């Protein structure tokens, strides 16, 4: 029997739509610049080069639907609306043809980013961890099992701030669709049940302030809402 020096922290998890059960989170992978228009607005070439990944801590994920605190150390907090893939069956070096067999379900998530810290890190050639992996930086709506969503390859993805639409695109605009993302990610690390993959954001990202209300959705999957509370 394993004995710990102190009680381990609870396992991070996210709600499951229509169930009292929760989905335990193992790791969180995020794809950068997976929509051409967003790549351009960030000053990058959207040619179909291999996608790059960054990570967030599992406990950065929080349930959407309520309030999340505006984080410290930033005056330029940005929203990034994304399709989230929940992995239910693990594997390494997964083929594109079999990638969707590993999906448990889907949801909508918001990748909150301290853009000023990210810009500073890029300028100095440093990691993005402080810009991307802070507390409450990944609100996720309740996961919906794949039996109810199918595998969405197209459909509207959108986000409004205080009722004003800021992001409005289609999943079909992704440079790398979900099967490719799963396959490419699995070449580098062994995926396992409980992994989440944020699949990139469309154009229209921007800054938000304490008190702002973020509402959006992904057609055929789910909606999401978050209110920014005062600074943590």
**Residue bearing the bigger pLDDT, 41 or 74:** 74
Whether the pLDDT of residue 48 is over 90: the answer is no
Whether the pLDDT of residue 44 is over 90: the answer is no
CA trace torsion 208, 213, 218, 221 (10° rounding): 130
Measured CA to CA in angstroms, residue 107 lies from 50, 132, 144, 191, 219 at distances of: 24, 19, 6, 18, 11
pLDDT of residue 50: 80
Q: Tell me the three state secondary structure of residue 95.
A: coil
Whether the pLDDT of residue 38 is over 60: the answer is no
pLDDT tens profile 149-192 = 999 999 999 999 999 999 999 999 999 999 999 999 999 999 99
pLDDT of residue 40: 63
pLDDT tens profile 109-159 = 999 999 999 999 999 999 999 999 999 999 999 999 999 999 999 999 999
pLDDT of residue 136: 97
pLDDT of residue 33: 85
What is the C-alpha to C-alpha distance for residues 11 and 228, in angstroms, rounded to an integer? Answer: 25
Measured CA to CA in angstroms, residue 204 lies from 79, 114, 139, 193, 201 at distances of: 9, 16, 18, 32, 9
Instruction: Read off the pTM.
Output: 0.95
Whether the pLDDT of residue 56 is over 70: the answer is yes
Please give the share of the chain, as a percent, with pLDDT higher than 90: 90
| HSE toward the beta carbon, residue 41, CA cutoff 13 A | 15
Whether the pLDDT of residue 47 is over 70: the answer is no
Please give the share of the chain, as a percent, with pLDDT higher than 70: 94
Model confidence band, residue 231 (pLDDT cutoffs 50, 70, 90): confident
What's the mean per-residue pLDDT of the chain? 94
For residues 159 and 204, is the Cβ–Cβ distance under 8 A?
yes
CATH: 3.20.20.10, 3.90.850.10, 1.20.870.10, 3.50.50.60. Which one for 13-231? 3.90.850.10
CA neighbor of 200 nearest in space, from 165, 157, 149: 157
């Amino acid at each position: 029997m394993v004995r710990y020096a102190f009680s381990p922290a609870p396992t991070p998890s996210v709600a499951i739509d229509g169930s009292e059960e929760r989905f335990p989170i193992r790791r969180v992978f995020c794809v950068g610049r997976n929509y051409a228009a967003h790549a351009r607005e960030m000053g990058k070439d959207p040619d179909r080069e291999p996608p790059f990944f960054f990570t967030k801590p599992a406990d950065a994920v929080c349930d959407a639907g309520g309030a999340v605190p505006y984080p410290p150390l930033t005056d330029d907090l940005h929203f990034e609306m994304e399709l989230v893939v929940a992995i239910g069956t693990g594997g390494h070096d997964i083929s594109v043809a079999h990638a969707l067999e590993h999906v448990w379900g889907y949801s909508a998530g918001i990748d909150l980013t301290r853009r000023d810290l990210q810009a500073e890190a890029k300028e100095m050639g440093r990691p993005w961890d402080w810009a991307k992996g802070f507390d409450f930086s990944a609100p996720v709506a309740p996961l919906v099992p794949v039996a109810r969503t199918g595998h969405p390859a197209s459909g509207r993805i959108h986000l409004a701030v205080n009722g004003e639409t800021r992001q409005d695109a289609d999943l079909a605009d992704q440079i790398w669709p979900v099967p490719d993302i799963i396959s490419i990610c699995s070449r580098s690390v062994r995926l396992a049940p409980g992994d989440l993959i944020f699949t990139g954001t469309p154009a229209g990202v921007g800054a938000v302030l304490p008190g702002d209300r973020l509402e959006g959705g992904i057609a055929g999957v789910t909606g999401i809402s978050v209110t920014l509370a005062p600074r943590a």
